[in-house]
Structure formats: structure tokens, C-alpha cells
Structure 1
Amino acid sequence: MTETLDRRLHAYRPDLADIRLREKVSAGRYTQGMAAEVAVPLAKLHPKPDPDCAIDTEALFGETLQVFDRRDGWAWVQLDADGYVGYLREEALGDRSSEATHLVCVPRTFVYSGADLRFPVVHALSMASRVRVTGMTETRGTIYALMGDGPAMIAEHLRPLAEAASHDAVAVAAMFLQTPYLWGGRSGFGIDCSGLVQMALAMTGKPAPRDSDQQASGLGQAIDPVQHGLRRGDLVFWKGHVGFLEDPHTLLHASGGTMSVTREPLKAAIERIAKLYGHPTGYRRP
């Protein structure tokens, strides 16, 4: 009975599967996911419960998910935002106790122990992390967002979830220039090519798949660069890589060549990448 389903987007193993897949896959038993959220600044999502295997992606603070299994310090989960399935350390999880009110809208920011930039830093959060703000206060002319009793953040680094999103994904992506490249990275501390595309689009209110092959097959519409022309915001795909166009001649991407988010002339990028991975496989307009 088992269909061939993408394991990145469907929670199933021989012994256990998401109850929603009962009619599609065979498993020892089926279970309904339990709601939880990420309680650490970044949680690495692995394809198997092994800290030595490469990560597939990352989950951000406050991100919600479904938990299907907990065993030996690992949790088998599916992220609510993009449906990605994998394993993260169990200590990264917290109960979904209260709804977030704000979103981090800068690449990186700090959580202080109190409403003062001189106070100790509790931890740092990436863009798109979700927090619950309970009030505002001012210290020496700076407005701080309070998160319960104690922790505080710079209010200008947050955006209410109900507030209209940015309309320019490329401008969001450009905020990450010089951010280190990280395979599987999806944050302001390290990001990969498809993570940059997903992050930038998410901050404009447009959901996107996580991986470049998923984006190449179903994100927006395919375009012909000759027939339709190229413009700001279009995506250029190679096998295993993707980048934004800042304009018809400039590529903005998380590059394994420079190991950072960078911009370079599109023509030069095509020539450079062709030596290793061939020419572009497609162009899409989100």
C-alpha cells in the first residue's frame, strides 16, 4: 500500500506514521501529532536521530510544529510552516502555551535580561523568530519590548504579526549580505541558498518550499528569460542552487563560492557555476 512519498514532507517510518497518511502508507501504527513549539534560538533538524549527520534545515524560536515521537532524547517532528519532517533534540521543544504576537524583522537581534542594552544578553534570535510581547517600556530614549517578567528586546527589531509584511523580497534578502553560508542554515547566523529564498519570501507573506528542487518545481510560475524578460525578484535555478535577481543583470544569493550571501553579475555567476554544475536549469517568477 505504501506510496512513494517525499520523506521531507511526509512523516512515515516502518514502525510509525502520521495518522493523516493511513490510506497512503503502511506502518506498524499511526499517530496524531502533538502540538509544540521551538523553545531555543535555533533547532537543527536532522534526517535521522544522529548528531553527526548533516542537517536538512533549522527551526526558529517560537516556530510551531507537530511531534510524532520522542525517544532517546530526540523528537520526530513536522514543522507547521513548510511541512518539513525530521529529528531535533528533545530539549529544543516547549509547550505551545501562548500565542506569539511579534516577529523578529532584522537578521539578528538580542534578548536582554531586562530593558537596558547594558544588561546581560540572554540569547540572540534570528529574523522570523516569533515572540510574545506583553508590554513596552523606555530606557534612555530606547523603546524595549517586554517578554513577561524580565527579558526584553529592542522594539524596533520586532514587527507585530498583524502588521502588513514587506512587499520586496529582494530587499529582505539583501539584509543578509555577508551572512555566512551554512548548509541547511535558515537564519541570520548562517543560511543556504534556498533558505535565503524561503526566508525573504516568508517575510513578505509568501510561503515557499524549503529546498531548491521543491522551489524549482512549484514556486510561482516558470518563465522564459527571452520571451518574458528578466526583472527584479525573479529566481534563477541551477541543479541544487537558486538565487534572486536584484535586477536583470545582478544575482543575489547565498553562495558556496564565497561562503556568504553575496551579489555578483549574473553573467559572471553563470560562467563560474557552469564549470562545476552546468548552466541554469530554469527561471521562475514567485
Structure 2
Amino acid sequence: MQLDRRLHAFRDDLADVRLSGIVRAARFADPIPAQVIVPVASVRREPAHAARIDTQLLFGETVDIFERANGWLWVQSRFDCYVGYLPEDVVAEGAHPVATHVISVPRTFLYPEPDLKTGPVSALSMGSRMTFVDEAELRGSRYLMSADGTAVFADHCFPVGRPFERDPVKTALRFLETPYLWGGRSGFGLDCSGLVQIAMMMAGRTVPRDSDMQELMDGDPVTRRGLKRGDLVFWKGHVGLMEDPKTLIHANGATMRVTRENLDHAITRIAPHYGNPTSYLRPAK
């Protein structure tokens, strides 16, 4: 069986015990659950800070750990199954309280107390998962509070278990002008497939991480003339989301940010470098 190493934890020397009998490895490891405890954790291809970023994990997301060595963890995301390396200080092992809310704006602040005049502890991205135990109001502003007393503006949060915005295009548009970042998957920086994934995630739909995976996901093939809002356009190594039949929203290296662009213009501009679109897809709902 041919397995994608991006989505299955196996190396010659070590593999996920759940792959025993499927892959060959010198030894197998049981997964150890852990939770991301920093705003954004970059997942790298190799256990080194200079290694390429393949994707990112957000605060409150969970992983399975298979190895701890020299300050690095070899992990697999429980959200989209992506495999890679994290510094060991960005996660905490063991069971954690169930998340109650998801951050629903591109970026927000975590305050040390429910008061916007205090200096923030950190910034959080859309999609971060939070556990709140109380709420407070100060000067007409309502905050949700964590067990340690830190607080987030209540209107920047949405209860877990319900889609925040059923139209992924509306979410994608909220990221206009966000900087492009290879491997980025947060409100601080996005790549093309990261934008599609987070827009779909906020609609309650889990899609694969990379554009080649997204091109193979469930949906209906469409033609260029049949494109409508919400359809995806794929090139080799790139993807964008249609705002309407003529306008593409995408995180791209040409502008180094999330932009809207006339599709015909994008096709003409991209063709000399990466060829014409490889497919058009209407994702399954």
C-alpha cells in the first residue's frame, strides 16, 4: 500500500503503532496526546528551526506525539492528520479541558484580565480553540474568561460545535491583505491552501491541507464557464476560491498577500510560470 508520508506517521526507524502490519519500521510507538499551547506552532519537515515550514497548528489544537528527541517532537495533527516536527515547548502532554469556543475573527488579543486597557498576553488567530469558564463585563464590553483569568473579547468568539459562517467565501474575504506565508495557516500569514482550509473549517467542513490533496477531495468537477461562488480553481501547486464567476480570492506569491483577482488575468499571469489550471472543483457540502 502506498501511503502519503505527509498524512501517515512512518519512517524506516519508527512508525505509528496503528500502522503495524501496513508499513515496515524498526519499531512502533503508541501515540501520546498533547495540545498546542502557543498562538501558532510551525510544523517543520525536519527537526530544525531552519527547516521548511509545511503547515501550522493553532492554539488549542491537538496532536499525537510519536517521538521526543533533542528538543523536538515528531507529531501528527488530529485535525487534518498532517505529520511533522515541532519544538517540544509548544505543546503540553496529557488530557486538557474540552474547548468551548473558537476564535471567529482573523486576529484577536488574549488579555491578562477582562480589560482592553491592559497589555495583551498574546495574539490569537481565527480557528484557535479556547476553554472558557466564566464571563465578565467592563465599561460595556463583555469578555469570556479562561480558568487562569485571561480573557478574550466575547464577540470575537463562537461556540464550538456550530459552523461560524456557512459561506467559506465570506470567511476568505475577511483575510484580504493578510501576508502570504509558505506553510501559513493562521490570521498572521497564509498560503493558498491554508486560506482554503481555514475558510472551509469555519464553515464546519474539514478539508485536506495541501492543494494537491484538496484537488482530489470530494466534489463535482466543473468547467471554467460553469464556475460560480465557492468553487475552487487548481494549478499545479496552487489553489484559489471563486468569489463570483469572474473573481478569484487567493493567497499568492505574486503580491505576497491574500488578494482578489480577475480569473482571466490570473490565468494569463500564472501560465508562463506554472501552466494553465489543472482542474475546477465544486466542493461537496
TM-score, reference length from structure 1: 0.96
| Counterpart code for 2:139 | R
Shift of 1:15: 1.3
Q: Mapping of 1:1-286 within 5 angstroms?
A: 3-95=1-93, 96-226=95-225, 229-286=226-283
Distance 1:237 1:163 in 2: 29
Contact 1:232–1:247 (CA<8 Å) still a contact in 2? yes
Percent of pairs identical after alignment?
52
Distance 2:252 2:165 in 1: 24
Distance 1:94 1:252 in 2: 36
Change (3 A) 1:251 1:157: same
Contact 1:33–1:68 (CA<8 Å) still a contact in 2? yes
Counterpart of 2:53 in 1: which secondary structure?
Answer: coil
Counterpart of 2:52 in 1: which secondary structure?
Answer: coil
Q: In the TM superposition, what whole-angstrom CA distance separates every residue of 1:209-259 from its partner, at most 9, and x where no partner exists? A: 000000012242322334xx1100000000100000000000000011100
Shift of 1:185: 0.3
RMSD (Å), alpha carbons: 1.0
Uncovered stretches (5+) of structure 1, i.e. residues with no partner: none
Distance 2:58 2:43 in 1: 10
Contact 2:63–2:75 (CA<8 Å) still a contact in 1? yes
Counterpart of 1:172 in 2: which secondary structure?
Answer: helix
Aligned residues: 282
Counterpart of 2:132 in 1: which secondary structure?
Answer: coil
Distance 1:162 1:20 in 2: 28
Distance 1:74 1:235 in 2: 36
Counterpart of 1:82 in 2: which secondary structure?
Answer: coil
Contact 2:9–2:76 (CA<8 Å) still a contact in 1? yes
TM-score, reference length from structure 2: 0.97
Contact 1:180–1:260 (CA<8 Å) still a contact in 2? yes
Distance 1:225 1:78 in 2: 36
Change (3 A) 1:218 1:149: closer
Distance 2:90 2:266 in 1: 38
Distance 2:163 2:48 in 1: 40
